[in-house]
Chain A
């Protein structure tokens, strides 16, 4: 397993995340409704608004999981925040970076993953809107565009709350 890499500017990225004053806050309908919409639109058992903190990923909005955080090292979203665009893993069992990851080989059995990076206007990527399935999947061009739109709507909400 390849642990989620730490970006060179992680200290500044974490400062940008913490300045949002969103970590460990209660669920909010404006985020929940977008994540729920994503889960329904793509027929995914799991959809998350995941924020990458120093040693954990913490979920501001959750569909399909009953935990509110996991370790950063095993997180797919920790990889996705380093990508310029949507990070798609069609079948984690066939990808050497993830095949023996405990969240692939055990609960919640992440097989398909798509994470749209949440890049703030400041340029720092603080988390993802991600979709997870327990079976291999692909997203076509229209679906990737829809996921991008939903990501942009989440970013609007996050930055509006902070403005």
Chain B
């Protein structure tokens, strides 16, 4: 694992993203690149190498919502610039048994439930970087 990590945060809420990325930098956890949408995240994953990611999965507002797992599949199938084995945590509104099975199949290291707190996301990123975890 390199000393300095590049990590990805996919989250719609700008203030949460900014708080996490700026705080991670001040704590020496690494650089957290921000994506506000799945489309932006897809482009960034194609163009850059990441050592880990925290991804907010949007299931929409309609009845019988389905979480979009396509981004996870792209990474795990090796169609991103990152290693297919990078640690990934996901943020979801709620977790059903079916969803947890889907996430387990995609080797998701952590599931973060609402309410989404900056501290919880930072803790998740810290587990991606054992070097930084020892320091703070």
Residues of A that sit less than 8 Å from B by CB: 33-34, 37, 40-41, 141-143, 145-146, 148-150, 152-153
Contacts and interface: CB of A to CB of B under 8 A. Distances in A.
Given A41-B117, A141-B136, A142-B27, A149 B122 contact: no
Decide if the interface of chain A is mainly helix, strand, loop or mixed: helix
Decide if the interface of chain B is mainly helix, strand, loop or mixed: helix
A145 B18 contact: no
B31 interface: no
Interface residues of B, number: 15
Given A33-B15, A41-B119, A149 B136 contact: no
B108 interface: no
Given A142-B119, A142-B123, A143-B119, 17 more contacts: A33-B15, A37-B16, A40-B115, A40-B117, A41-B117, A41-B118, A41-B119, A141-B27, A142-B136, A145-B23, A146-B118, A146-B122, A148-B23, A149-B23, A149-B26, A152-B22, A153-B15
